[in-house]
Chain A
Amino acid sequence: MNKLSASTSEKTKGMKSSIFVASTFIWIGMMIFIDKGILYGWFASDMQINLLIAFDTILGIVVIFMFMSLLKSMDELQRKIQFDALAFSMGTTFVASITYSLLTTAQIVRDSETSDLILIMTFCYMASVIYGQVKYR
């Protein structure tokens, strides 16, 4: 492969990455907007809320496919770093959710929040990606 096509491939990957990050932020931003909107009564009707939730869910599905497309555009080492990070974050979240559930059943934890698990998953994923990038620098 010559330098021109390699640089085109890099540009495509960069563009896919930017679109993925932008759409993820839009999805999260919208999720927060809907959550706060429901809490503070910003919406006029239930229909409006339902439409916004449906739109946000569709956007979330689009983000999943964008991430898959981004993974496909990566080379094998970058993909390995991502898969290791996904495996680590999924495993940690799985164990944490069971522990959390047991603690809730035992009434040691009273106000269980799903968002705590999402935070754990995000933190583990990001930490693992950074670890992979440093390891295979």
Chain B
Amino acid sequence: MMEFNFKIESGDFTNAGSISSSVKRALKQLNVDGSVIKRTVVALYESEVNVVAHSHGGEVVVNIFDDCIKINITDSGPGIPDIEKAMTQGFSTASPEVREMGFGAGMGLPNIKNNTDDFDLKSEMGVGTVLKFVNYFKA
């Protein structure tokens, strides 16, 4: 097992994608199947953007096992008021500024779910959000 830790700063769109890029590089070296790499990169990239755009900042813990990759993304709030709504395609609370940058189309969370094998999202208002997902290397 290997563990990687990363921090995400709120509002730092410039670096959104750097974590998924590092994880991609590792998965390529581990000879993980290309389609799994693609799905993982999409899910992680979307998650990074979510934390940058909506939260006060957070961290990512990546654990790579022989047969799967587990990723936990934790932020320090403010939290998602209505998870069911947030999971709806096209729903977005992104500010006009964020949308201006090409983000906030309301595709994020549903897209993450579509690109992961196990998906778990928990949020508490005023505390923060924890997103956990797993992708398996072999079907």
| Co-assembled chains A and B | no
